Amino acid sequence: MYRITKKKQLNQDITLIEFEAPDIARSAHAGQFVIFCIDEFGERFPLTIYDYDRSRGTVTVVCQAIGVSTKKLCTMNVGDNINDVVGPLGHATKTKNIGKVICIGGGVGTAEAYPIAKALKEDGNDVTVIIGARNKELVICEDEIRGFCDKVFITTDDGSHGRKGFVTDVLKELIEKDRYDLVFAIGPIIMMKMVSVMTKAKGVRTMVSLNSIMIDGTGMCGGCRVQYDNQTKFCCVDGPEFDGHLVDFDELMVRQARYKDKEKLALERYGEKCRIGLGRG
């Protein structure tokens, strides 16, 4: 059991959750992820590690309530126990001696870009962050990022905060004006694709972090496979970070939509249960 020690609602759908997991906290690094299984009925799903505290033995994630599993996690409270969490999984981000880096976080992906940007900064790299969201309400982690980084750009689709437009608008200007060693993009698949297309044309190396459907997270199921440089790779053990110029994003989008109908059905059933007070937890 993994007890929840802190919970903070970042906006309507996105919640920050800190829980006790000393074994994971001890070995966690930026860029790695954990797999949750909330309760006896739960499915296994991955979330990127947002932060960890080795001395307190806690790990923090940021979760967007989309399907049944993420809704379950987001509705849990301080003191509640999560049945199962395993990790840290995947490779840690390489942060040493990179140079000038742009980190892009889209939507909830901003919470995943945060630890990477921070680790890059701590290792002495020059870091610029671009945060993108649909509107002001959905921009997360801005203060935390400004806390260590003085070059922060915000874009919103509707212009309610920062600049109106997309992260790629800012990216385009930056890479036209200056030379960068690496771009990191984490967010919706379509955003990572657009970023990768743009940087490829300019020849700027780009890493993306893929959060594909997976079960065990240790290479056993192969459900998270991605077409990469004309080979099949497993996100869990080969990733989660990949060179964005070599990822087949179109295939990935199709694979991520695999259980759309089933997810809808499960969600309706979950909503019904909550409404009539038969929730399991």
Partner 1 sequence: MDNNEKFTHVRMREQAPEERRKNFKEVPYGYSEEEALKEAARCLGCKKPPCVAGCPAEVDIPTFIKAIKEKRFKDAVNVIKNTNTLPAVCGRVCPQEDQCEKNCVLQKTGKGPVKIGNLERFAADTDRANADNGSGSVATIARHGKKVAVIGAGPSGLTCASDLAKKGYRVTLFEALHRPGGVLVYGIPEFRLPKDIVYKEVDEIKKLGVELKMNFVVGKTSTLDDLRKEGFEAFFIGTGAGLPWFMGIEGENLSGVYSANEFLTRVNLMKAYRFPEYDTPVTVGKRVAVVGAGNVAMDSARCALRLGAEKVYIVYRRTEAEMPARIDEIHHAKQEGVELHLLTNPVKILGDEKGNIKSLVCIKNKLGEPDSSGRPRPVPIEGSEFEMPVETVIMAIGNGPNPLLIASIQGLTTNKRGNITADDKGHTNIPDVFAGGDIVTGAATVIAAMGAGKVAARAMDEYLSSK
Residue 87 φ/ψ, nearest 5 degrees: 165, -170
37: contact with partner 1 by CB under 8 A: yes
Tell me the two tokens of residue 164.
């109106």
- Rounded to a whole number of angstroms, the minimum distance from the CB of residue 223 to partner 1 is 5
257: contact with partner 1 by CB under 8 A: yes
- Rounded to a whole number of angstroms, the minimum distance from the CB of residue 268 to partner 1 is 9
Distance CA 35, CA 235 (A): 13
76: contact with partner 1 by CB under 8 A: no
Site string for partner 1, 79-108 (x = CB under 8 A): ----xxxxxxx-------------------
The Cα-based distances of 247 to 152, 241, 243 in angstroms read 27, 10, 7
Which residues are within 8 A (CB) of 14 and not within 5 positions of it... i.e. 6 or more apart? 62, 63, 64, 65, 108, 111, 138, 140
234: contact with partner 1 by CB under 8 A: yes
Which residues are within 8 A (CB) of 98 and not within 5 positions of it... i.e. 6 or more apart? 120, 123, 125, 181, 182
If the CB atoms of residues 84 and 243 are measured against partner 1, the closer one turns out to be 84
42: contact with partner 1 by CB under 8 A: yes
Residue type, 47: L
Judged by the rule CB under 8 A, the positions of this chain that interact with partner 1 are: 23-24, 26-27, 37, 41-44, 68-69, 83-89, 215-216, 218-223, 225-227, 232, 234, 237, 251, 254-255, 257-259, 262-263, 265-266, 269
